[in-house]
Amino acid sequence: MMQNGDDEIPSVDMVKRGSYKWWALAVICIGTFTSTMDASIINIALPTLTKVFAVGETVSVWVYLAYMLIVAGLTLTFGKAGDMIGHKRMYVMGLLIAAAGLALNSIAGSMPILISFRVVQAVGNGMMVALGPAIITNVFPYDERGKALGIYVASVGVGLSIGPLFGGILIDTLGWQSIFYLRLPIVLGVAVLAFKKLKEQKSVALHHNFDKWGAAVFFLGMFSLLLGLNQSGERGWTSAFVLVCISTAAVLISLFISIERKAAQPLLDLKLFHSLSFSAANLSLILSFIARIAAVLLIPFLLQNGLGYSAFKTGLIQITSHIAMIIVSPVAGRFSDKIGSRILTSAGFLLIGLSLLLLSSINANSSILYLVLTLAIMGIGSGLFESPNNSLIMASVPAIKRGTSSAMLATSRGLGMTIGLAISSSIYAARKAQYLTQGTTAATAAIGGFQDALIIVAYICIAGVIINLLAGNTKSKKIY
């Protein structure tokens, strides 16, 4: 039994807290850096892949969307499996599978094959993101978790910031395949480091029963929902295909809830949602990524197709928000240990919404300085929001449920990103097509589609601020 409010820590032969906790944090942060770098590299490559494989934006976005679907749909499964067979084992396995996916991606000869290989990579990265926060939370005392998770979130920012710049250089010089094969040695190196440095953690109180029906129904429900959202821009919201997808998703998600209520060892313990803090913090996390991913996805299309920038220049500009996030996240994490999360997360959401409104006004006459400053505001808002939010989610559950809580955190992140990708890409494609039918140039249509998509998504931030105010405070109750 650990003190300082910790319940039974799900670990085997847990070492003394001390230097080990920093080793564990370093390993998880490096692994997180490799996985988040992937997201921003793929984003910067989407305009190139659209042209190379001669497909539309709603097709090319599935290089990103299929990856996020796997993460959103299977992360709960990976979290539960990690609680059963061990966090370290699952984490190392994830790194190896992700490495295999990178190797396969670099030899893909068509868009369908590339999307299929991205699924392999997503399985590996999904295992990593499911268990990283749980490993960190288990080895840090409660009064240092905000700081630790702030550093963790900063590693996300580092990966996201390096990705566009690194990807832009590689695409312009060595071709799109290089963004995969040149990262393979890094991931394999992290796998070796994780195997040597991490200590095993598993829940000794959980029986080894696996909720296979819950896992299958949840994944199919997410797939139906995201497919319907993705196709809504091209087919229209009233098309039979979109309505069938959305209706199927509603039925399957309802069935998943029914299964979880009856399962002896549910994939997702619904009792966790009895905590207002846990429920509201996860919902606000979903909304934040719906809002932020719209800008992340569409800015390369704006800059490259609308304003004529190169991939390298696009990446250089886009790192602004990530650098701001890197600087702010650890500071916000430390402050959340002292003052709680509510003020920080609410202020962060306000800044995210403001940045989206400012970005929606960008046109062919906008200066680079205006664009950079606006992206910096988004990075500051993201940094203020994310680490206190993550700390609140992890603090809202008993220690024995941290694998599931960590997986739910990653699922909320992935769900927000996939819904945001589907919605924003559909709005962009539909509005761009409408502008083209009005006789505008392709560049003007790209700018108009970008502006319309971001204005619509910006209104989500109003709901986000309200939910954050209701979510509670990490300092307002005993932290496990």
- The more confident residue out of 85 and 453 is 453
Where does a domain end: 199, 232, 264?
264
pLDDT at 8 over 50: no
> In terms of DSSP H, where are the helices of 1-18?
none
Number of domains in the chain: 2
pLDDT at 235 over 80: no
Per-residue model confidence (pLDDT) at position 254:
93
> In terms of DSSP H, where are the helices of 364-477?
368-395, 402-437, 442-458, 460-470
Of the pLDDT bands very low, low, confident and very high (cuts 50, 70, 90), residue 258 is very high
Q: In this structure, how many other beta carbons lie within 10 angstroms of the beta carbon of residue 196?
A: 10
Per-residue model confidence (pLDDT) at position 123:
92
d(C-alpha 94, C-alpha 135), whole Å:
14
Does 351 share its domain with 434?
Answer: yes
145 falls within a domain:
yes
> In terms of DSSP H, where are the helices of 198-310?
212-235, 240-262, 276-300
Does 43 share its domain with 190?
Answer: yes
Does 126 share its domain with 58?
Answer: yes
d(C-alpha 434, C-alpha 337), whole Å:
49
Where does a domain end: 198, 231, 264?
264
Per-residue model confidence (pLDDT) at position 304:
82
4 falls within a domain:
no
d(C-alpha 448, C-alpha 212), whole Å:
45
d(C-alpha 259, C-alpha 268), whole Å:
10
Look over the chain and give the mean of its residue pLDDT values, rounded to a whole number: 81
> In terms of DSSP H, where are the helices of 53-144?
57-60, 62-85, 87-105, 111-139
Does 321 share its domain with 371?
Answer: yes
The string of pLDDT tens digits covering residues 374-400 is: 999 999 998 888 888 887 887 777 666
Does 415 share its domain with 304?
Answer: yes
479 falls within a domain:
no
Cα of 371 vs its chain's centroid, Å:
23
d(C-alpha 182, C-alpha 200), whole Å:
30
Does 297 share its domain with 189?
Answer: yes
pLDDT at 33 over 90: no
57 falls within a domain:
yes
Does 32 share its domain with 83?
Answer: yes
pLDDT at 262 over 60: yes
165 falls within a domain:
yes
Residue range(s) defining the domain that contains residue 284: 19-210+265-470
d(C-alpha 105, C-alpha 53), whole Å:
14
Does 393 share its domain with 256?
Answer: no
Per-residue model confidence (pLDDT) at position 377:
94
Does 198 share its domain with 242?
Answer: no
Does 231 share its domain with 324?
Answer: no
Of the pLDDT bands very low, low, confident and very high (cuts 50, 70, 90), residue 188 is very high
pLDDT at 206 over 70: no
Q: Taking Cα atoms as reference points, which of 225, 224, 212, 221 lies closest to residue 260?
A: 212
Which tokens go with 262? 């009856």
Long-range CB contact pairs, 371-375, < 8 A, 24+ = 371/317, 372/317, 372/320, 375/295, 375/299, 375/317, 375/318, 375/320, 375/321, 375/324
Per-residue model confidence (pLDDT) at position 7:
42
Q: Taking Cα atoms as reference points, which of 285, 223, 269 lies closest to residue 409?
A: 285
421 falls within a domain:
yes
Per-residue model confidence (pLDDT) at position 472:
65
d(C-alpha 71, C-alpha 25), whole Å:
22
d(C-alpha 283, C-alpha 194), whole Å:
31
10 falls within a domain:
no
The string of pLDDT tens digits covering residues 264-311 is: 777 777 887 887 888 888 888 889 888 888 887 788 888 888 888 877
Cβ partners under 8 Å of residue 285, min gap 6? 386, 389, 390, 393, 409, 412, 413, 416
Q: Give me the percent of the chain exceeding a pLDDT of 90.
A: 12
Per-residue model confidence (pLDDT) at position 233:
61
Which tokens go with 132? 């990283």
User: For residue 237, what are the CA distances in angstroms to 56, 197, 229, 303?
Assistant: 19, 50, 8, 28
pLDDT at 367 over 70: yes
Per-residue model confidence (pLDDT) at position 473:
64
The string of pLDDT tens digits covering residues 123-151 is: 998 888 888 877 887 778 767 777 787 78
d(C-alpha 242, C-alpha 236), whole Å:
7
Q: Taking Cα atoms as reference points, which of 366, 344, 370 lies closest to residue 355?
A: 370
Does 102 share its domain with 239?
Answer: no
pLDDT at 164 over 90: no
460 falls within a domain:
yes
Does 94 share its domain with 220?
Answer: no
pLDDT at 92 over 80: yes
DSSP 344: H
Where does a domain end: 264, 286, 308?
264
CATH number of 354's domain: 1.20.1250.20
d(C-alpha 477, C-alpha 480), whole Å:
9
